[in-house]
A and B are shown apart, each in its own frame.
Chain A
């Protein structure tokens, strides 16, 4: 995935709302503690998204831009390496998947993820879901979850919910969408074209995890 940060207005939460809805993600404000928040895709500041790049004189524009954070679907994912039950695994197409029915809730993957992209169901999420989406399972307490690039939608030929919402919102306001999703192995895909023609940065590439979310700033 490529995220064109310039095209992402701070006050737009279309992608986050779409993801939260189709995955039955509990409403953080209703939950007993902010510690228990479940996050698949969320916004944060530059200094938290790229803590190693932060400096005193950083461009004003960057300070104000929202950075969308989600699972990096690493090429060499440490979460998969540490999982004792193969509940999290990498698919052939590169998606790092999560089997919430096999997870024993040891949270080793959360310790291993250098991006804070994994969430644990500290409590039963059901009472805190604003509007239930019957096509996606609601998790039980005690398992880990994260972004799956909408594997359930990809399977039926749809694009991830966040990307679709971003495109719709951009069309409505006559601007370019910020989220671009595609096959990095295909040289003709839009993501590859963007990567060829733009300077992109990734989160903590020095750790060797091979994050597959690219940011155009």
Chain B
């Protein structure tokens, strides 16, 4: 089936060439970082994780959200989703690949990566994150490929694939729970030291991932002969609505605990993010943008008329994507490190090369996603599952 990624029209090749260009640029910047060290980024001794780890965290959520199409299909027997599970699984593949790449570019000594396996350390959450992410990647490639191969031959998927599908459901929850544990178990980082961190991560994952999936479904509808189905997209819209409500609710719970208790350590990061601390306010415009988009998303998704209409649903989903990306892809990591353990504010902002390396990783993910979607859709177009 792989050959289907290598045949395509002019637009397909222009798109792929563009992505390869961005990847190439990112790779050149990475070589520079390789030679010079991570000092090329905006990170430092106070904000020691930055844009890379934040993108990683956001994308683990996107990866986990594949379960939001698999679960209704296989546990609730909601058959219409059978058409879109493959899109969810392949989105997960692209997202996990980007996650792993963001970890790699963030390592100081990537050449010693195998030390993680040569000296396995079960008390480190990072060890478990490596295990769950790699297994999840394997599960999604495997399940997606087997299902698609069966579809190509016009036969039902083999029965032995079922256990893998059932395992993949709790596994999706595990990847984001373990990723939350990376943060939630650190003494002295009050912003992260919260028992609902994993719950927040899952809520934000289950709105941002399906929102992306809706956008991709609408694109697929427009540029190919395959239609994921209006009903399916609308059902996904409902999932995004519920998850976004939960996501915002959990966020407000954090605000309550911090500000009603008035414990300084719990309030400081929020103050830094939303009002600025000691004259440092670089993230303030971003965080209020997050608030505006989150509110807009909630309105568009809760009002039934705008949720059902595909145009307004698309706008709502884009709002969700922007809001969750700012929250997790910027605020969470930078806010957690500010102020530093000595109570000082040292600001962080990614540098140009750091941003281009990140863009390169994103482009790699989009390239993988495009190729995988191309394969899936070509198989369907061949099988004659045209617009339903």
Contacts and interface: CB of A to CB of B under 8 A. Distances in A.
B334 to A, nearest CB: 12
Contact of A104 (B37, B112, B188, B340): B112
Contact of A119 (B45, B119, B125): B45
A35 B121 contact: no
A113 B234 CA distance: 46
B25 interface: no
Contacts of B110: 104-105
Interface in A98-138: 102-108, 110-116, 119-124
Nearest to B115: A85
Interface stretch (B63-71, B280-288, B341-349, B362-370): B341-349
B194 to A, nearest CB: 15
Interface in A130-185: 140-144
A113 B27 CA distance: 32
A122 B116 contact: no
Nearest to A85: B115
Interface string B92-117: 00000000000100111110110110
Interface residues of B, number: 45
A61 B106 CA distance: 44
B48 interface: yes
Contacts of A102: 112, 115, 119
Contact of A85 (B45, B119, B187, B341): B119
B328 interface: no
Interface in B34-56: 36-39, 42-46, 48-49
A84 B45 contact: no
B130 interface: yes
Given A81-B123, A86-B119, A121-B37, A104 B109 contact: yes
A142 B188 contact: no
Which applies to chain A's interface (DSSP): helix, strand, loop or mixed? loop
B331 to A, nearest CB: 16
Contacts of A144: 108
Nearest to A45: B342
Interface string B166-190: 0000000000000000110111110
Nearest to A51: B343
B49 A111 contact: yes
A122 B121 contact: no
A103 B45 contact: no
A120 B37 CA distance: 10
A89 to B, nearest CB: 10
B119 A48 contact: no
Contacts of A209: 187
B124 A84 contact: yes
Interface stretch (A2-10, A11-19, A36-44, A193-201): A36-44
A48 B108 contact: no
A94 interface: no
Contacts of A124: 37
B145 interface: no
Contacts of B108: 103-107, 120-121, 141-144
A39 B37 contact: no
A116 B121 contact: no
B142 interface: no
B235 to A, nearest CB: 39
Given A81-B124, A84-B124, A112-B186, A35 B46 contact: yes
B127 interface: yes
B48 A120 contact: yes
B123 A106 contact: no
A123 B346 CA distance: 19
B62 to A, nearest CB: 22
Interface string A190-217: 0000000000000010011100000000
10 contacts: A36-B45, A78-B186, A86-B119, A104-B113, A105-B38, A105-B109, A111-B189, A116-B46, A144-B108, A208-B187
Give 8 nearest A-B pairs by CB, closest first: A105-B108, A35-B44, A114-B188, A142-B108, A122-B39, A141-B37, A123-B39, A51-B343
